[in-house]
Amino acid sequence: MEAKDLFTLALQLSPEWRVTDCVLDQEQRRLTLKLDFKTGSKFPVPGAEHQLLFPVHDTVEKHWRHLDFFQYETELVARVPRVKTPEGNVVQIEVPWARPGSGFTLLFEAWTMLLCGEMPVQKAGELLREQDTRLWRIVQHYVEEAQKKQSWTGVTRILVDETSAKSGHNYVSSVVDADTRRLLFITEGRGSEVLEQFVAELRAHGGAPEQIELVSMDMSPAFIKGAREHLPKAKVVFDHFHVMQMAGRALDEVRKEIRREGADLQGGMWALRGNQWTRTEEQLALRKSLCEQYPKLGRAMMLRETLQDVLADQDEEQLRWWCKRAKRSRLEPFKKLADTLREHWAGVVAFMETRVTNGVIEAINGILQFAKRMARGFRSFATFRTMALLKAGRLTLDLPQLLPT
């Protein structure tokens, strides 16, 4: 068997195509495989509803980067036919080894997607000896195609949150399906327009705003406004994670106030922050000592931990009791927190009833931040969005099989 016949079999070409020549340039470490169609072959018009075949009108030479042959960079070169339609238009046919407009073969793109799903695109570019900007175009194509095919008709409960996309005050907002834990939507900003944009995307995926029964979020006025205007039938739930964040900040304000009064709180910041099960034995001992030494700090810690227990229960009366206790505590940060909870009462109680939490979206934000650090940031929001959907969108990518069939 000649080399060209071997490569014809290896490339799994359709019957009308064959490898006609193989050129190995050892100095440039490049293998060029020249492809041609058999004389007399006829081809269909791309995208046509009918299955008619037409003779070749003329040809154009095209090049595609293929998977390396051992250590040699491999390129396919072919005379691509153009056919004349009954309407008199001359159009280029689609070749079976590459998608239209791509300078890469389908197998090269499949290998690229496999690598980029596991490592930064820049690193994949080094391994594949290709510019990462060209690889980004491959990744964006397959991610966007898979995203378009997603059906959101069954989405009824969503989680909304924000995270940073770049250093400074550059934020993106994400929407996640609370039931499937799938990232649905991501956009720049954190205003009320986020949910307006989500509703537009929801309609594009076959859904309707009326189907959303619940939206879990923090107490951002912008998100609240967006939910009220664009998701009129959704119950708003304020996630306990954000409520406990506010309680933690209130405790920290009390600590700072005591320190300003001259108290020695060396090492107290980390000992006082977080839950008991996240602290070391030394930190817990210091926490207990500081709370005994400074009664104001002890009251603040008691209020924080009691609120956590109340939110773990489903008794609205216990939450009402806590707010009264906080208002009588003579601790301004906790008095303000009690006022905030009363102002957003329905959403806080809705969490106690539904137990829907933003923990999933917080985990997804962590994945995105990790990916961002691996890639040393993204050049644009478009690339950040692409990687977000690839990592957390649970997409079904339409990729060719890398193994021979």
Together in a domain, 363 and 227 = yes
Question: And the tokens for 164?
Answer: 């940073």
Query: Does residue 221 fall inside a structural domain?
Result: yes
Name 33's bridge partners.
22, 76
Together in a domain, 370 and 227 = yes
Q: Domain range holding 208?
A: 157-239+357-392
Together in a domain, 235 and 161 = yes
DSSP-derived secondary structure for 74-131:
EEEEEEEEEEE-TTS-EEEPPPTTS-TT-SB-HHHHHHHHHHHTTS-HHHHHHHHTS-
Residue 194 pLDDT > 80: yes
Number of domains present in the structure of the chain: 3
Together in a domain, 277 and 312 = yes
Nearest to 236 by CA among 216, 209, 211, 212: 216
| pLDDT score at 374 | 57
pLDDT band (50, 70, 90) for residue 373:
low
Distance CA 215, CA 158 (A): 5
Signed CA dihedral, 80, 84, 89, 93: sign only: negative
Residue 124 pLDDT > 60: yes
| pLDDT score at 405 | 59
| pLDDT score at 167 | 60
3-state DSSP percent of the chain in helix, strand and coil, to 5 = 45, 20, 30
The dihedral over CA atoms of 39, 41, 47, 51, expressed in degrees to the nearest 10, equals 170
Distance CA 368, CA 378 (A): 11
Distance CA 80, CA 331 (A): 78
| pLDDT score at 304 | 95
Together in a domain, 31 and 95 = yes
Question: And the tokens for 178?
Answer: 């609370």
Query: Does residue 123 fall inside a structural domain?
Result: no
Rg (CA), the chain: 30
- For residue 399, the 8-state DSSP code is -
Together in a domain, 172 and 256 = no
CA angle (327, 333, 337) in 5-degree steps: 65
Query: Residues near 78 by Cβ (< 8 Å), separated by ≥ 6?
Result: 17, 34, 35, 36, 61, 62, 64, 95
3-class DSSP state of 223? helix
Together in a domain, 253 and 346 = yes
Q: What is the mean pLDDT of the chain?
A: 90
Together in a domain, 203 and 244 = no
Together in a domain, 340 and 192 = no
Contact 395, 147 (CB under 8 A): yes
Query: Does residue 130 fall inside a structural domain?
Result: no
Nearest to 62 by CA among 11, 105, 31, 24: 105
Query: Does residue 134 fall inside a structural domain?
Result: no
Query: Does residue 312 fall inside a structural domain?
Result: yes
Residue 308 burial (10 A CB sphere; 0-12, 13-18, 19+): middle
Distance CA 185, CA 162 (A): 12
| pLDDT score at 371 | 65
Residue 326 burial (10 A CB sphere; 0-12, 13-18, 19+): buried
pLDDT band (50, 70, 90) for residue 380:
confident
Name 171's bridge partners.
164
Burial letters 123-152, b for 16+ CB under 10 A, else e: ebbeebebebebbbebbbbbbeebbeebeb
Q: How far is residue 36 CA from its own chain's centroid?
A: 42
pLDDT tens for each residue of 22-62: 999 988 899 999 999 999 999 999 888 788 899 999 999 99
Query: Does residue 247 fall inside a structural domain?
Result: yes
3-class DSSP state of 148? helix
Q: Which amino acid is at 294?
A: Y
For position 193, which CATH number holds?
Answer: 3.30.420.10
Q: Decide which of 88, 103, 118 is a domain's last residue.
A: 103
What average pLDDT score do residues 6-12 get? 84
Contact 32, 77 (CB under 8 A): yes
Query: Does residue 141 fall inside a structural domain?
Result: no
What average pLDDT score do residues 71-98 get? 93
pLDDT tens for each residue of 171-181: 889 999 999 99
